[in-house]
Structure 1
Amino acid sequence: MNYETISVTIENNIGYVKLNRPEKANALNQTAWNELKSIFETLDENDDVRVIILSGEGKHFCSGIDLSLLFTVRNTAETCDARKREKLRKQILELQSPINAIEACSKPVIAAITGGCIGAGVDIVSACDMRYATHEAYFSIKEIDMGMVADLGTLQRLPKIIPDGITREMAFTGRQVFGEEAEKIGLVNKSFENNDILFENVTTIAKTIAGKSPVSVRGTKHILNHSRDHSVADGLAYMATWNAAMLLSEDLNEAFQAQSGKRLPNFKS
């Protein structure tokens, strides 16, 4: 897959997605936003991919929205105030859609974070299933320092990942939260001493997931996302309907046969 601002490779059922504007600290311009959405929608449909690792090329994971894009969103030739605001709302929704595509992707997405994860970078990793970082990586909801309210998902998703009070502190102050603190508050699953150890561990986790039943993995992600946004009673009712449709799969038979034969299962995509 050839893209201008993001590199994508697939190996052993793992999709490696890497933000690739290191000279701009992986700031996201309009092209990057368009490509991010296209990539995750494409990988969602690609049977060769069972899990995705998302990272950034160079020193930083992502320094947020490219200022050129931010000024483009703000500037419009429209003279009618209502039409101007209608257009701005549409543009914001369009910027939200690539991040929504990460969350909606049926394959688990693992964020491997090095350096700065700022502004829109936090929006992106909040939409991932799991997050891992180096000790030196840092997170900042920087919009407050730009006279803005974070509008691409951080304020909606982060309180469901970390304590509400910590989310509010980060959002109100814009302070940097480094890797070890991020692990302590649950923002990342684990932080590691350096990049090599980070990617070694993340790849091991991805390989483990890639070896599981793809139907079960996709279903588990779907159910977890549904359960997060619904009551326990609603979630259980939905779960019963889901498994009534999905439980009797070839993967279940293959898992039983593999255990009986004391071998590794071989699942279809």
Structure 2
Amino acid sequence: MTNKYQYECLIVSISSEGVAHVEINRPKALNAVNTQTWTEIGHCFTRFQSDGDVRCVVLSAAGRMFTAGLDLKEAATGPLAQSNTGDTDRARSGYYHRLYIMKIQDAISAIEACDKPVIVAIHGGCLGIGIDVISACDMRVATEDAYFVIKEVDIGMAADVGTLQRLPKIVGNDSWVREACYTARTVSSKEALAVGLVGSLYASKEGMVAAALETASLIASKSPVAVVSTKHLLNYSRDHTVREGLEYTAIWNALAHNSRDMPVAIMASLQKTKPLFPKL
């Protein structure tokens, strides 16, 4: 294990197999996301992008729940509140408030932009900005007692850090997404599984995290060039037409096919041995 990632609100460990385990660690605050938390998330996942020791990531949280959402105590006195007060005219205050929102967006989007696959393991409540976070991940698993709330309308705003953009593409049921967003009702783990928000459910947090780490280890055993290429191309193709995705893939693989991983993988398959791939 290595401890080269040191944060105040996150605990990060990296196994010898290349699996990074990131744990949101504000249990006394129910893992409410404050400025320090989202800043560290953005920094951490941006670093993962170019860290050859990391091949796959598991994201979980300490304590009773995944997250209670935005830290409202901080929000009450921070930039969110200040945008509606003071002597600055609306155009100027709005300009800087937009930049503040975009900083949070970029921090959460760093999860998606990181080409290393991210499995998020959700237990207990996942509220508000928590939905933004899990929507930016590749795979979502949850405990049977997990529940989800797109909470923003209950604090007088629209979700603005990724939920409204990513969730419709994850679930594929526009009517359900709109109903969940407009009502801010509680969505059970069983319903989340039924609509495709999560991929599987587990009886306990321990069993869920263990399963997520096992899946991450399997992914980490594959060619790192192949894995990061696959995530990159899936994300690109999601946001473009089929033709655009195919053309971009041809350009991408014109470079990626020069990897030494391909002959290693092919030879291992023929010889029925386990391939060993160098770091990215």
Give the TM-score of the pair, scaled to structure 1: 0.97
Shift of 1:225: 0.2
Q: Distance in 2 between matches of 1:148 and 1:223?
A: 33
Shift of 1:78: 4.9
For 1:220-255, what per-residue CA distance to the aligned partner results, in whole angstroms no more than 9, with x for missing partners?
Answer: 000000000000011111111111121131000000
Q: Distance in 2 between matches of 1:239 and 1:78?
A: 52
Shift of 1:46: 1.1
Cross-structure match for 1:2: 6
Residue 225 of structure 2 is aligned to residue 215 of structure 1: yes
- More moved, 183-192 vs 70-79: 70-79
For the 8 Å contact 2:60–2:209, the answer to whether it is kept is no
Q: Distance in 1 between matches of 2:153 and 2:165?
A: 16
Q: Distance in 2 between matches of 1:26 and 1:179?
A: 19
Cross-structure match for 1:24: 29
Report sequence identity in percent.
Answer: 44
Residue 53 of structure 2 is aligned to residue 45 of structure 1: no
Residue 253 of structure 2 is aligned to residue 256 of structure 1: no
Aligned residues: 269
Residue 93 of structure 2 is aligned to residue 84 of structure 1: yes
Shift of 1:150: 0.6
Shift of 1:51: 0.2
- More moved, 254-263 vs 70-79: 70-79
For the 8 Å contact 1:7–1:20, the answer to whether it is kept is yes
For 1:54-96, what per-residue CA distance to the aligned partner results, in whole angstroms no more than 9, with x for missing partners?
Answer: 0110111111111133221221545222101111111111111
Q: Distance in 2 between matches of 1:70 and 1:152?
A: 15
For 1:136-155, what per-residue CA distance to the aligned partner results, in whole angstroms no more than 9, with x for missing partners?
Answer: 10110001111111111100
Cross-structure match for 2:242: 232
Shift of 1:177: 1.1
For the 8 Å contact 1:29–1:66, the answer to whether it is kept is yes
Shift of 1:43: 1.4
Q: Distance in 1 between matches of 2:119 and 2:12?
A: 14
SS in 1 for 2:248: helix
Q: Distance in 1 between matches of 2:87 and 2:27?
A: 35
Q: What root-mean-square deviation, in Å, do the aligned CA atoms of Structure 1 and Structure 2 show?
A: 1.1
- 1:1-269 equivalences under 5 Å are 1-11=5-15, 12-71=17-76, 72-73=78-79, 74-76=81-83, 77-162=86-171, 163-269=173-279
**5+ long unaligned stretches in structure 1:** none
For the 8 Å contact 1:78–1:84, the answer to whether it is kept is no
SS in 2 for 1:60: coil
For the 8 Å contact 2:223–2:261, the answer to whether it is kept is yes
SS in 2 for 1:267: coil
Give the TM-score of the pair, scaled to structure 2: 0.94
Q: Distance in 2 between matches of 1:98 and 1:40?
A: 8
Shift of 1:121: 0.2
For 1:114-165, what per-residue CA distance to the aligned partner results, in whole angstroms no more than 9, with x for missing partners?
Answer: 0111000000000000000011101100011111111111000000001111
SS in 2 for 1:207: helix
Q: Distance in 2 between matches of 1:69 and 1:123?
A: 19
For 1:179-220, what per-residue CA distance to the aligned partner results, in whole angstroms no more than 9, with x for missing partners?
Answer: 121111000011112212212221111111000000000000
Q: Distance in 1 between matches of 2:105 and 2:258?
A: 36
Shift of 1:38: 0.7
**5+ long unaligned stretches in structure 2:** none
Question: 1:107/1:44 Cα in 2 relative to 1: closer, same or farther (>3 Å)?
Answer: same
For the 8 Å contact 1:52–1:108, the answer to whether it is kept is yes
- More moved, 189-198 vs 44-53: 189-198
